[in-house]
Amino acid sequence: MKSLNQEIRDKLVRLNVFEKIIVVNFVVYVFTSIILRFSGFGSGLEWLSLSKSAYQVISMPWTLISYGFTHYSFSHLFFNMLVLYFFGRSFSNLFKADLCLKIYLLGILSGGFAFVMVYNIFPSGILNTVGPLVGASAGVRSLIIFLCVYYPNKEVRFFTFQFPLKYIGIALIVFDFPALFSQNSGGIVAHFGGYILGYFYAKQFQKGNDMGEFIDKVSTYFSRSKSNLKTAYKKTNKKNTSFAGKKKEEFDRFTHQKQIDLILDKISKSGYESLTQAEKDFLFRAGK
């Protein structure tokens, strides 16, 4: 009977890439909202959120990715993951899973860079009142715009309405423009970073160019390094293996000779006919 941990592992393995992204976002939210906030680490979570300060970003470069898996409110998390789930179902039917992950990650990076760049270019402008950036919106929007640009005339149904996919992308961008001057202006700038990444990724992908190919190369490099490490370990382990203080080859020769001596001793005491057929065959092979 499978243990609970094994069942959980099996279910996680069967999840598609979108469902895994959703699980990671929920796990990070639970970790940050329950464990960290009630253990004295504070609720700022500066080590996960993306700062407006270029100096802090340089000192904590992982925040360019980690902010995209961090949410301060459950409603923000739930809405992002709900949109990701529904668009992810369409995406997974049209493209490979690894493409989704690359667009999502690059969308988060693009949104983060846009946020930091705009603030530092206009330090007293539209982002002067916002705090650190969190949320997966840039990654989610990069996936949506990718679909809208790659399949602009693909028909989608919303209740009883049916319309081309491109209108969803247009509506998102139009509604986000006024929000650039809201209290969430930093998050909206990140949205536009995701829009830009999704647009250019789709245009390049239509030409046969994969903007996220370098991610595949990095993944392949680490996979190969891990495989080489295992192979080297096995070879070293095999080479240094000892049996009763002897190397494997020496031990094999010792046991082979010992078996011959035992058979010869048996012959001297009881005669050749006392040998079993297996012993006769072994002695015959050894005498060749």
Encode pLDDT of 157-185 as tens digits: 767 778 888 898 999 999 998 888 777 78
CB 63 within 8 A of CB 57: yes
User: For the chain, which residues score pLDDT lower than 50?
Assistant: 1, 238-240
- Percentage, residues of the chain above pLDDT 90: 23
Question: Within 13 Å and on the Cβ side, how many CA atoms surround 120?
Answer: 13
> Which residues pair with residue 156 across a beta bridge?
163
Helix axes 74-94, 97-121, angle to 10 degrees: 130
Verdict on whether the full-model pTM lies above 0.75: no
CB count, 10 Å around CB of 161? 7
Encode pLDDT of 111-155 as tens digits: 999 999 988 887 666 665 567 889 899 999 999 999 999 988 887
Fold of 4-209: Rhomboid-like fold (1.20.1540)
pLDDT attached to residue 67: 92
Q: Which two tokens stand for residue 160?
A: 């009883």
- Residues 25 and 71: their CA atoms lie apart, in Å, by 8
- The residues of the chain that CATH labels 1.20.1540.10 are 4-209
Q: What is residue 36's DSSP assignment?
A: I
Tell me the C-alpha to C-alpha distance, in Å, between residue 3 and each of 8, 48, 95, 114, 152: 9, 33, 35, 46, 47
pLDDT attached to residue 162: 81
pLDDT attached to residue 1: 47
Q: Which amino acid is at 193?
A: G
